[in-house]
Amino acid sequence: MKIERGMSAYVSGGGSGIGRGISLALAARGVNVGVADIRESDAAETARQITSAGGKAIPLPVDVSDASSVEAAADHIEGTFGPVSIVCNNAGVAMHGVPLHEIEMSDWDWAIGVNVYGVIHGIRSFVPRLLDRGGPTHMVNTASIGGFQVNPNFLTGAYSMTKYAVVALSEALRNELADTTVGISVLAPAAVDTGIHLSERSRPERLGGAYVRPQNHFMGDLIKGSARPEAIGERVAQAIEDEDFYIFTHPETEEWLDRRQASIREAFAKARQAGAGSMAAE
């Protein structure tokens, strides 16, 4: 799909990090951007950077865990800029540093609400609009390299669980929309220099409100000085034009997936030795 000047886009989590990088990259190509973020001041800053550079953008206070908030944003963008052609379900929060059995239910609700339901709400609000739009359109869902493997060195299982779900949702969408003009991509970055380790400051009141979660903060040191969000945004914009489905950003992480695949192949080899297939057929 060729990104054309005058197209309209929705970018959730657009107030900072990868979302800001995507917003700036799209705006540089002449796209009018609806910058959605639960932190309205952050969304306003991204929009200011875009308009200062001669582009068009509007900041939108959006809680992606709330379906009505996403739907209202869709209406607002289309009422301002016309039909949306590009949708980036990018908002996400960290849930690191605690064993799965010790994570509070309020934290499960928050992580699943943003990382999984945020994408689901984007799908429900925008896919019908993209289908009605006619002509090429595109949706990008932000997962993580953690959506393809669980890193054994960190307690990030809850986060990876939500990102595995984003990969599955995206693969299902690709299958379901294969005969349409709606393209689908899933973004799977590794370390990017963002503020995701501080995401608890954005927890909405209905899910417990802002708080300090020091278990996340080790990630700040790990990602400091890593890939820049602007570079990821450029990678995403190019992937939309190239109609790439998987968008990987860190080639060195391929070996992480190779290790997982090796263990899967080993398990299948044991299944063959055990004759599991013939047992299942019986």
Q: Which of 159, 164, 211, 246 is catalytic?
A: 159
In this structure, are residues 97 and 220 in contact, taking their beta carbons and an 8 Å threshold? no
Q: In the 8-state DSSP scheme, what is residue 52?
A: H
pLDDT at residue 282 greater than cutoff 50: no
Q: Please write the tens of the pLDDT for every residue from 143-177.
A: 999 999 998 888 889 999 999 999 999 999 999 99
Domain assignment present for residue 2? The answer is no
Domain membership of residue 265 as a residue range: 254-282
Residue 173: which H helix or E strand, with range?
helix 157-176
Contacts of 128 (CB under 8 A, 6+ apart): none
Residue 108: what pLDDT?
Answer: 94
Domain assignment present for residue 1? The answer is no
Residue 248: which H helix or E strand, with range?
strand 246-248
Same domain as 260, residue 245: no
Q: In the 8-state DSSP scheme, what is residue 34?
A: E
Q: Please write the tens of the pLDDT for every residue from 244-256.
A: 999 999 999 999 9
Same domain as 242, residue 222: yes
Same domain as 212, residue 105: yes
Domain assignment present for residue 29? The answer is yes
In this structure, are residues 74 and 9 in contact, taking their beta carbons and an 8 Å threshold? no
Report which of 145, 150, 183 is spatially closest to residue 167, judged by C-alpha positions: 145
With cut-offs at 50, 70 and 90, classify the pLDDT of residue 195.
Answer: low
Measured CA to CA, the distance from residue 101 to residue 276 in angstroms comes to: 32
- Among 18-27, 194-203, 221-230, which range has the highest average pLDDT? 18-27
Domain assignment present for residue 238? The answer is yes
Same domain as 260, residue 203: no
Same domain as 155, residue 274: no
- Among 51-60, 198-207, 219-228, which range has the highest average pLDDT? 51-60
Report which of 203, 195, 185 is spatially closest to residue 239, judged by C-alpha positions: 185
| Count of structural domains within the chain | 2
As a whole number of angstroms, the longest Cα–Cα distance in the chain is 68
Residue 85: what pLDDT?
Answer: 98
pLDDT at residue 275 greater than cutoff 90: no
pLDDT above 70 coverage of the chain, percent: 90
Q: In the 8-state DSSP scheme, what is residue 134?
A: -
**CATH code for position 112:** 3.40.50.720
Domain assignment present for residue 261? The answer is yes
| Whether 246 is catalytic | no
100-131 in b/e burial notation, b at 16+ Cβ within 10 A? eeebeeebebbbbbbbbbbbbbbbebbbebbe
Contacts of 36 (CB under 8 A, 6+ apart): 10, 11, 12, 13, 14, 43, 60, 62, 64, 70, 73, 91
Report, in angstroms and rounded to the nearest whole number, the Rg of the chain calculated over CA atoms: 19
